[in-house]
Structure 1
Amino acid sequence: MATVDEATGPRPAGRGTRRPGGRRPRRGGPAALLAAALATVLAAGCTSGGGPADDSRGSTPPPGRTATADPTPSTAPSPTAAAGQVLAVKIDNVRAARPQTGLDAADVVYVEQVEGGLSRLMAVFATKLPKTVGPVRSARESDLELLRQFDRPVLAFSGAQGRLMPLIDREPLEAVTPENTDGVYFRGRDKASPHNLYLRPGRLLDEAPGAAALTTGFRHGPAPAGGNPAKERTVRFPSARFTFTWSARAKGWELTTDGTPTRVTDGRRLAPATVVVQYVKIRRSVYHDSLGNRTPYTETVGTGRAEVLRDGRSYPARWRRPAATDGTDFTAPDGRPLPFAPGQVWVVLAAAR
């Protein structure tokens, strides 16, 4: 488990103003207070063990590792999340970044395509906060559309393409990077840079905001009628492969990434209760990486087909998200809402054909 020195003293006020309107939970309502209280209890028991060793004290890395100092301290204050703000973290997903830390505590994990056909994850935390999350990597333009469904979310990422940063600064979110915060990130000793940057969520949020902050549009409930028995489902990106295998013992879909069982750093296998394969349009954006490769833009507003995996069955579905400020509705072919199983949800944003 990662050793984390907790911040002391008062936290400065967050930046920005709250976006008006929208279908958002607000502070002080009975449902929000109840959810926050429940989340506090859950968060107290969730420490997502097996995290990386903290290298922020200048320890010498083991042979073959790259020594990387903590980011240069900034005089900018660390933003403080208001009640109802989810924490979204961009997480590295190449082989060198695995196993990741804290993924098992996320309520929702989005799987996105990035340059070279590789994948990156955006983990959303509302009911639990692990001590450590990572490795943290850079943001993409698609993240901004995806995040507008939440009420001023906190987005933790390690940077972005230079031309994209001004756009991020104008978004209704709290941007948390190593450059604009103190004591929130550290470099671990478990992996080589750049795959060793980790986040301490407890330095950003005093407690988990609660389930009411998850304005995703997802419904949870008993398994619907219909569907087809399913033991396994594989989703392919140009340079990545995800296989979900139903496990009655785990009550979830055990994940294998690029042919290797996917585990967090304490050895536990990731097995989300619900897997959604959401077929979307993926086009080239105007931004590119340092090698000149165009960044894919994943469109999550609109309609399309989907597949929902839960309880060992596969359900054909349609998805609908009228505007970026809306959540996404998933329905059966007859138009009835398609509920998800209680527990973690993985949404794989696959290219429509």
Structure 2
Amino acid sequence: MRRSHFRRTLAAVTLAATALTLAGCSGDDEEPTADSSPQAVAGGSTLDSTWPLTGLEVTGDESAAQDHPVIVTKIDNTSSSAPQVGLGSADMVVEELVEGGLTRLAVFFYSDLPDEVGPVRSMRASDIGIVSSTDATVVTSGAAPRTIKRISGAGIDFVAEGAAGITRATDRSAPYNVMADLTTIADKIDQQDEVRPDDYLPWGDESDFPQGQKATAITASFGGHTTEWKYQGGSYQNTNGYAGQGDEFSADNVLVLRVKVGDAGYLDPAGNPVPETEFEGKGEAMLFHGGQLVRGTWQKDGLDGTITLSTKAGKLTVPAGHTWIELVPQDNGSVQFN
């Protein structure tokens, strides 16, 4: 797998800046080659003509092999983050548990890089399982020292405060004022070749989606935070989110994966244990699309493995489109719908 070299070439400024910002963190199938035949996917499209994070067809003269890697930005998901910036440009979002039963967003950008996203917050060890399969670069405000050690040990590149493209907004309060220009960050990433990342999810066509049960309202609870969705106008809208008006993430799919949660082994500055989502193995899956729910199971072999979905009838694919993934704890979380 390819690796960007931004962290290594700017190690001094990035790691030094990370050290300064730690106190502000809250606890803190094979890739096709040039001479190989494109791999076919559902609907007759090929990997080189679809976007890896949405499964949607690439239009015009564009290519799904970009001159930058997938860029995942860690964005705050509390009322203090309002208004969140950049969600409307994202390909995909993963919501993960953090300390206190709250959540944080891992926002995936690839087909479109906005010049402002945020507020940017710190990484967690949970991010290893979330970003590894795409060989992504993570944009973060920093992280706890043991988290940095584990993220680096997993071979994940990250860009922290102090690097070009990450600034502090003067109209927001710290630590909710770190913003990122992904165009500037992408320009600084030394990517040797344009390589299309692997598909994040098993994409399929609308016609592949099986008949499910009606479900137009969803509530995903993480303990201290719930995320609510309403199916309207052909997509799912987050009715209690913090995105700026006109900058909301409109989801074609909401994919709920019930996950095990362990202990990261340290406390945040407020004394709360920091949880760690164990995003590998298997568990219950709930795929919401078109106002319907299909139940199944998910499987992921290793933290860097890709996600597969299945029902009792066999393989389950996700209709191509923008997807919000809820990593809901299987023990202390819950999912309701009507």
Task: State whether TM-score is above 0.5.
Answer: yes
Aligned CA RMSD, in angstroms, stands at: 3.2
For this pair of structures, how many residues does the alignment match? 291
Say if 1:100 and 1:324 are closer, same or farther in 2 by CA, change over 3 A. same
Distance 1:211 1:351, change over 3 A: farther
Q: Aligned pair in 2 of structure 1 residues 202, 40: CA closer, same or farther (>3 Å)? A: farther
Q: Deviations over 1:254-313 (max 9, x none)?
A: 1123xxxx3632434432110011001012121321223221110110011110000110
| Partner of residue 136, structure 1 | 120
Matches within 5 A, 1:34-183: 38=58, 83=67, 85-151=69-135, 153-179=136-162, 181-182=163-164
Q: Write the letter of the residue equivalent to 1:265.
A: G
Change (3 A) 1:191 1:178: same
Deviation of the 1:315 alpha carbon:
0.7
Aligned residue number for residue 186 of structure 2: 205
* Long gaps (5+) in structure 2: 10-28, 39-45, 52-56, 332-338
**Mapping 1:1-353, distance limit 5 Å:** 14-15=6-7, 23-24=30-31, 38=58, 83=67, 85-151=69-135, 153-179=136-162, 181-182=163-164, 184-206=165-187, 212-223=196-207, 224-247=209-232, 249=233, 251-257=234-240, 262=241, 264-335=243-314, 337-353=315-331
**Structure 2 counterpart SS, 1:132:** coil
Scaled by the length of structure 1, the TM-score of the pair is 0.73
- Please state whether the residue corresponding to 1:166 is helix, strand or coil: helix
Q: Which runs of 5+ in 1 are unaligned?
A: 1-11, 44-80
Q: What does the per-residue CA deviation read over 1:89-127, in whole Å, with 9 as the maximum and x for residues that have no partner?
A: 111001010221111221121111101000100011121
Q: TM-score, normalised by structure 2?
A: 0.76
Partner Cα separation in structure 2 for residue 281 and residue 216 of structure 1: 20
1:27 is displaced (CA, Å) by 7.5
Equivalent residues of 2:87, 2:247 under 8 A apart? no
- Give the CA deviation at 1:326: 1.7
Q: Retained in 2: the 8 A contact 1:311–1:341? A: no
Amino acid at match of 1:240: H
- Following superposition, the deviation at residue 32 of structure 1 comes to 7.2
Q: Which amino acid is the alignment partner of residue 287 of structure 1? A: Y
Per-residue deviation, residues 142-179 of structure 1 (Å, max 9, x unmatched): 1012222123x111101111222222223322210013
Percent of pairs with identical residues: 26
Q: Secondary structure at the match of 1:96?
A: helix
